Amino acid sequence: MCKMSYWSLMTVKIGFIGAGRMAGAMIKGLIVKNIYSKDEIVACAPTDTTRARVAGEYGIKMYETAAEIAKEADILVLAVKPKHVPDLFEKEHLTLGPQHLLISIAAGVKIETLNSYVPDSRIVRVMPNHCCMVLEGASGYVKGTNATEKDMKTVNTILSALGLAVEVRECDLDAVTGVSGSSPAYIYMMIRAIADAGVLAGLTRKTSVELAAQSMIGAGKMILESGMTPEQLIDGVCSPGGTTIEGVNVLKNNDFESIVIDAVNASIKRSIEMGKTN
Ligand SMILES: NC(=O)c1ccc[n+]([C@@H]2O[C@H](COP(=O)([O-])OP(=O)(O)OC[C@H]3O[C@@H](n4cnc5c(N)ncnc54)[C@H](OP(=O)(O)O)[C@@H]3O)[C@@H](O)[C@H]2O)c1
């Protein structure tokens, strides 16, 4: 049987190795955005409780081992914790072939390492962020060994269903980890602090958090959709002698921007350190 007819016989299109938070977010996004139907998605997890929960939540077929889903799907998303990756190939002896496109989201696991496990497969490495859960993720993805332009389009389609997807070089993935992988936590801190100020001024916690969070969404969209730079947008909201420039002045005087740069740099540094062990 030639390769093309083998592929066309596949009814299952995509399989998830691991069915935790990220896999769940991706499965939900793919179904909601009609990229794949639930019949075209399978996943695996070693524990009964995870299999029952994910099957119940998304209506997909669940398996216990990665080897079972590798028989069902030619696109596989590697969504286990990085520390579990070696076990899959060294203890469970998972074998993948040229028919498999392996999309790895395992943080810090390099293409070279993946290639040593599955030299015949096509590999794409991805750094998503957890905002995939609300289909507003931001992912960087890298063309790996044997991956074709068609594979890159497939990965772009999958990731774009979950938010923004940007192709980068593998050497940029540590920076992507700092800029979009970790930054949601910093933004939550900013939202919490803004909301605290609202509560101090008499707003309820709920109203204050909602207003602060929506302002973050709006500010992000302004940057992505207006074509204006952050600098231009800051100027646009700072009327001379007005309220906003007063606050901007306080942030500037307290080194807000250099503190944020230090935080992102610390995350990038940690990502580089962690990458050395994978
Ligand atoms: N969370 C994030 O914000 C984020 C962002 C970027 C990248 N990532 C990457 O995404 C990956 C998944 O993260 P997560 O937060 O979704 O982790 P998670 O919630 O802990 O999920 C991991 C899943 O892997 C399953 N698993 C463990 N060993 C397995 C095996 N041998 N075969 C098949 N499945 C196995 C677990 O099954 P059981 O439930 O049965 O134990 C679980 O369902 C990680 O590599 C992480 O680096 C995460």
What CATH number corresponds to the domain at position 85? 3.40.50.720
Tell me phi and psi for residue 44, to 5 degrees: -135, 155
Whether 137 and 233 share a structural domain: no
Range of the domain at 79: 3-171
Mean pLDDT over residues 64-89, rounded?
Answer: 96
Is residue 55 in some structural domain?
Answer: yes
Say whether pLDDT at 5 is over 50: no
Provide the pLDDT confidence category of residue 11 given band limits of 50, 70 and 90: confident
Mutate to test the pocket of ligand 1, among 65, 68, 69, 80 (most ligand atoms within 8 A of CB): 80
* Domain end residue (candidates: 171, 200, 228): 171
Whether 193 and 140 share a structural domain: no
Establish whether residue 140 lines the binding site of ligand 1, counting it when its CB lies within 6 angstroms of any ligand atom: no
Residue nearest to atom 37 of ligand 1 (CA): 45
Is residue 213 in some structural domain?
Answer: yes
Whether 149 and 194 share a structural domain: no
Is residue 206 in some structural domain?
Answer: yes
* Domain end residue (candidates: 152, 171, 190): 171
Whether 99 and 233 share a structural domain: no
**What's the mean pLDDT when you consider all of the chain?**
94
* Domain end residue (candidates: 134, 153, 171): 171
What CATH number corresponds to the domain at position 195? 1.10.3730.10
Distance 7 CA to ligand 1 centre (A): 27
Report pLDDT for 81. 96
Say whether pLDDT at 66 is over 80: yes
Is residue 266 in some structural domain?
Answer: yes
Distance 72 CA to ligand 1 centre (A): 20
Whether 186 and 93 share a structural domain: no
Indicate the residue type of 6. Answer: Y
Is residue 176 in some structural domain?
Answer: no
Whether 126 and 47 share a structural domain: yes
Distance 22 CA to ligand 1 centre (A): 7
Mutate to test the pocket of ligand 1, among 17, 22, 129 (most ligand atoms within 8 A of CB): 22
Distance 23 CA to ligand 1 centre (A): 7
Whether 7 and 80 share a structural domain: yes
Whether 161 and 214 share a structural domain: no
How many whole angstroms separate alpha carbon 55 and alpha carbon 52?
A: 5
Mean pLDDT over residues 18-34, rounded?
Answer: 95
Question: What is the pTM for the complete model shown?
Answer: 0.91
Whether 188 and 226 share a structural domain: yes
| pLDDT tens column, 113-153 | 999 999 999 999 999 998 998 999 999 999 999 999 999 99
Residue nearest to atom 19 of ligand 1 (CA): 20
Distance 269 CA to ligand 1 centre (A): 23
Is residue 124 in some structural domain?
Answer: yes
Whether 25 and 122 share a structural domain: yes
Number of domains in the chain: 2
Is residue 19 in some structural domain?
Answer: yes
Cα–Cα separations (whole angstroms), residue 86 to 37, 63, 78, 91, 185 = 31, 20, 12, 8, 29
Distance 61 CA to ligand 1 centre (A): 18
The residues facing 195 across adjacent strands are none
Whether 136 and 251 share a structural domain: no
Establish whether residue 128 lines the binding site of ligand 1, counting it when its CB lies within 6 angstroms of any ligand atom: yes
| pLDDT tens column, 181-209 | 999 999 999 999 999 999 999 999 999 99
The number of the ligand 1 atom at minimal distance from the alpha carbon of 47 is 40
Whether 108 and 197 share a structural domain: no
